[in-house]
Structure 1
Amino acid sequence: MIFGRLDNVDLEKATLPDAVLEGLQFLNETDLANASEGRIDIDGDRIFASVQDYTTGPQEEKRPESHIRYLDIQYIVSGREMIGVAPLSTTPPAAEDLSGERDLLFYDQVGEESSLVLSAGSYAVFYPWDVHRPGCAVGETGEAVRKVVVKIRM
């Protein structure tokens, strides 16, 4: 997992993988506040983005997930959300496997989960070995979030 802010990318680019930099460049050069919800193709199925608008909710109502073929760059355009993060190596096997059709595995339990708060301008990179629980409220009240998830094939 990598955590950062888009306004620091120039300072951090020497330490980031090329594919992640390509995704961050898209985020930096695109008017995401006015983009339509849904998929945006960047490089076909190799790199694409999904613009999402939703309200965060209680952590216990959100399902931990991981992916096999893609990494995620989850970038917050507006609002705040908490994302739970746990190592795949300490997490029991997936409860629901949708990896064939959606590259998505869901878990009922996670091991050693930590909390990461993302606010506008911040991003997190989740690799296939990072179980993550997105969409959780910061505090007790949900808030509106605009998020862009860039998917990059591994």
Structure 2
Amino acid sequence: MIVDHISNWRRYGFGPAWEQMMCWLENYAPGGSGSLAGLKDGTHPLADGFVNVATLASRPLSGSLYECHKRFCDVQMVVEGQEWLFNAATTGLTLNGAFDDQRDIGFFQPAPAEVSRVTLAPGTFALLFPWDAHLPAIAVDGVPAPLRKCVGKIPLEALRLS
């Protein structure tokens, strides 16, 4: 997992798919030229991947399942509100049920023993790879609150990784 401020995304040379995704997200970050009022919930296609925009409430940690993907990397960015995002390595974890290849998602239970937690607020993004089990949209300090976020999906094969 990489967590950074949106103004630093150009430091990561992950190639054209990364550049397209991050330019799109930067447009709606604080100080960006995009209007949040004009940002519609739903799926926004890109040449390599897409962005899902959602308005929701952050959720309690209790009962939430870690997720992972095989084909896509997530780029998660909050545009309004804040959330806790938990992360752990998928190594040694067992899926809770079958991996859904069509939706590219699998869930883990119980929670990993060793996790990290970051707070995502407007202006901060997290890049999550297929080897990152993650738990997004968790209520900060256990208090559910309104949240608006973008979750970009970039095919792992479209990223230039070394």
Q: TM-score, normalised by structure 1?
A: 0.89
Query: SS where residue 50 of structure 1 aligns?
Result: strand
Match of 1:5 in 2: 5
Change in Cα spacing, 1:32 to 1:121, as seen in structure 2 (3 Å) is farther
Identity rate of aligned residues, in percent? 26
Q: Which runs of 5+ in 1 are unaligned?
A: none
Amino acid at match of 2:4: G
Query: SS where residue 25 of structure 1 aligns?
Result: helix
1:24 paired to 2:19: no
Answer 1 or 2: which has greater strand percent: 1
Amino acid at match of 1:39: T
C-alpha deviation, 1:32, in angstroms: 6.1
1:15 paired to 2:17: no
Match of 2:71 in 1: 69
What is the CA–CA distance in structure 2 between the aligned matches of 1:72 and 1:7, rounded to whole Å? 18
What is the CA–CA distance in structure 2 between the aligned matches of 1:106 and 1:32, rounded to whole Å? 34
Q: Does structure 1 retain, via aligned residues, the 8 Å contact 2:61–2:142? A: no
**Count of aligned pairs between the two proteins:** 148
Runs of 4+ off more than 4 Å: none
Query: SS where residue 101 of structure 1 aligns?
Result: coil
Q: Which moved more, 1:54-63 or 1:141-150?
A: 54-63
Match of 2:126 in 1: 124
Q: TM-score, normalised by structure 2?
A: 0.84
What is the CA–CA distance in structure 1 between the aligned matches of 2:54 and 2:134, rounded to whole Å? 17
